Amino acid sequence: MTTTLIRNATIFDGTGADTFTGDVLVTGNRITSVVAGDSGATADTVIDGTGKFLMPGMVEGHAHLSFDAFTCTEDLIAPPPEEHAFLTARVAQTLLEHGFTSAYGASEAKLRLGVAVRNEVDAGRLPGPRIRAGSLEITVTGGLGDESRLHNPRNCYEPSTGTSPSQVVNGPEEMRKAVRIACREGCDNIKLDVSGDPFYPDIPAHCTTMSLEEIQMAVDTAHAFGKMVNVHARSIGAIRNSLIAGVDMIYHAEYSDEETLDMLEAAKDRVFVAPTIGLFHTMWHEGAPHGMPREVTEAMGIGHLIEESVKTHTELRKRGIRHLIGGDYGFTWNMQGTQARELQYFVDYYGYSPAEALVCATRNGGLAMRREGDLGTLAEGMLADMLLVDGDPLADLALLTERERIVMIMKDGDIYRGAP
C-alpha cells in the first residue's frame, strides 16, 4: 500500500482539541499515525506542511447535488435526466474542489441522480466527495413540493401527468411503497417534507403537514433497509413527531419551545441537526439582485425565521446537539461551492467558537456519514480525508471559502489536488 506523510503541519484533529505541530502518516486509505513533533517516519510521498493548517475534510450536511444556480422549482423539473446527471456530476466535483470531501444527501430533483453520481465517484470514474445519496422529497397532498392542482395533476411517479419536484403520498401504505422504491433504487437517505415552508404561502413554516403515522412508516421501512431518514421540519409539531418516530436527521428546526428542546436534547446521541441558515442569510442580506428585495423576504417571514433559528440553535448548541453545517446550496443566491460560509454563520448566529464550528463541519459530519464512526477526525484508524490550508482558519474561517487557500485535498487516501 502506498504511504503519504504530511509533516510538520499545524494539526486540527476535528475533536475541538487545541492544535499542535506534528506529522500525519497515511497508509492506503487510512490514517496510521498522528504524532506531535517529528515522527521520523518516511513515506512514498512526503508533503511539507510547515506553516500550514491540517484538518479533516469538510462535510456538507444537507446536500442537493442536483441543484445548480437554480431560481425556482421549475428548474428542478426542467432538465432531462441525461443533462441533469451531468449537472449533478459537475456539482459533486465543485464540492470536492472547495474542500468538501463528503456530502450527506438531503434530496435530489430526480430519484437516481445522487445514486448514479455516487456510484461513479465510488468507482473512481468521476471526481467527487463521498456521497450518501438523497432520495426525492417525499411529501403529502398539499405539502411542500406538491405543485399539482385539480386541473393540472402532477406527480413525479405519474409520467402521464408530468412531473413534480416531490413525490406525493398519502397514508402509511403509500409511504411504505415510496420508501421501498427509494431503497430499491439505491438511495442512502430518505427525505420527508414534514412541515410547511416560506416558499409556499398556503403552508407557512409553522404548519405540520405530514402525520406521525406517515413519518413512522417511513422510518420503520427505511431502517429495515438500513437507510437513514432526513426531515424538513421547521414547525414544532414536525420536530416532535419526527423525534417520536425516530428519524436520523432534522433539518431547519426554527421553531421550538421548552418541551421540544428537551426532546431534542434527550435524542442528542442518535439524531443530527442541520440548521441550514445559509439559505435564509443570503435571501435576507443578498437577495435583492436575485429578485428578492427586502420587501419580498420580509413578506415571506424570513427575518422572523432567522430570529427563531437563532433562538433554537443557540440553545441546542448549549445542550450539546450534534449540529452539521451546510444546506440548500445550489440556488443563484446561495451557490454551490460556497458552503464553507456556513462556518462563520455558526459563530455569528449561534455563538459557536471557530474551533467548535469546525467540529460541526468535520467530526459531526463524519459521524452522520458513516455509522462505523471512522470519518471526520484525524486519528489512527480513521479514513484519510483531509485538507491542508494556507493560513489559520481558527483566526479567519473565511479562508476556507477560498478555493486557492486549500492547497491540498485528500480523499480516501488519494490526493485530489496539491500533490507535491
Q: Name the residue nearer to Zn ion (CB basis): 31 or 106.
A: 106
Q: Which amino acid is at 124?
A: G
On whether the CB atoms of residues 378 and 386 are closer than 8 A, the answer is: yes
Spatial separation of the C-alpha atoms in residues 147 and 155, rounded to whole Å: 8
Q: Which amino acid is at 353?
A: S
Q: Name the residue nearer to Zn ion (CB basis): 65 or 106.
A: 106
Least distance from C-beta 199 to Zn ion, angstroms?
A: 11
Site map (CB under 5 A) of Zn ion, residues 306-345, x = contact: ----------------------x-----------------
Q: Name the residue nearer to Zn ion (CB basis): 199 or 381.
A: 199
Q: Which residue has the cell 439505491?
A: 186
Least distance from C-beta 233 to Zn ion, angstroms?
A: 12
Q: Name the residue nearer to Zn ion (CB basis): 24 or 360.
A: 360
> Which range in 37-45, 101-109, 193-201, 351-359 contacts Zn ion by CB under 5 A?
101-109
Q: Name the residue nearer to Zn ion (CB basis): 287 or 326.
A: 326
Least distance from C-beta 121 to Zn ion, angstroms?
A: 21
Positive or negative, the CA dihedral 211, 104, 168, 335 is positive
Among 85, 91, 106, 410, binds Zn ion (CB under 5 A): 106
Per CB under 5 A, which of residues 57..96 are in contact with Zn ion? none
Site map (CB under 5 A) of Zn ion, residues 350-389, x = contact: ----------------------------------------
> Which range in 75-83, 102-110, 146-154, 360-368 contacts Zn ion by CB under 5 A?
102-110
Interacting residues of 48 by C-beta distance below 8 A, sequence separation 6+ = 7, 8, 420
Please provide the DSSP assignment of 282-293 as one string. Answer: HHHHH-GGGT--
Q: Name the residue nearer to Zn ion (CB basis): 13 or 60.
A: 60
Q: Name the residue nearer to Zn ion (CB basis): 77 or 379.
A: 77
Spatial separation of the C-alpha atoms in residues 390 and 406, rounded to whole Å: 6
108 binds Zn ion (CB under 5 A): no
Least distance from C-beta 64 to Zn ion, angstroms?
A: 6
Q: Name the residue nearer to Zn ion (CB basis): 56 or 134.
A: 134
On whether the CB atoms of residues 104 and 114 are closer than 8 A, the answer is: no
On whether the CB atoms of residues 264 and 227 are closer than 8 A, the answer is: no
Q: Residue 286, Cα to own-chain centre: how many angstroms?
A: 22
Least distance from C-beta 330 to Zn ion, angstroms?
A: 9
Nearest residue (beta carbon) to Zn ion: 328
Q: Name the residue nearer to Zn ion (CB basis): 248 or 328.
A: 328
Q: Which residue has the cell 498522528?
A: 34
Other Cβ atoms closer than 10 A to 202 = 7
Spatial separation of the C-alpha atoms in residues 12 and 357, rounded to whole Å: 12
Least distance from C-beta 224 to Zn ion, angstroms?
A: 25
Least distance from C-beta 43 to Zn ion, angstroms?
A: 41
Interacting residues of 354 by C-beta distance below 8 A, sequence separation 6+ = 343, 347, 393, 394, 395, 397
Count of residues binding Zn ion (CB under 5 A)? 2
Least distance from C-beta 334 to Zn ion, angstroms?
A: 11
On whether the CB atoms of residues 408 and 388 are closer than 8 A, the answer is: yes
Spatial separation of the C-alpha atoms in residues 45 and 26, rounded to whole Å: 10
Which of 166, 175, 157, 167 is closest to 218 using CA atoms?
175
Applying CB under 5 A, the residues found at the interface with Zn ion are 106, 328
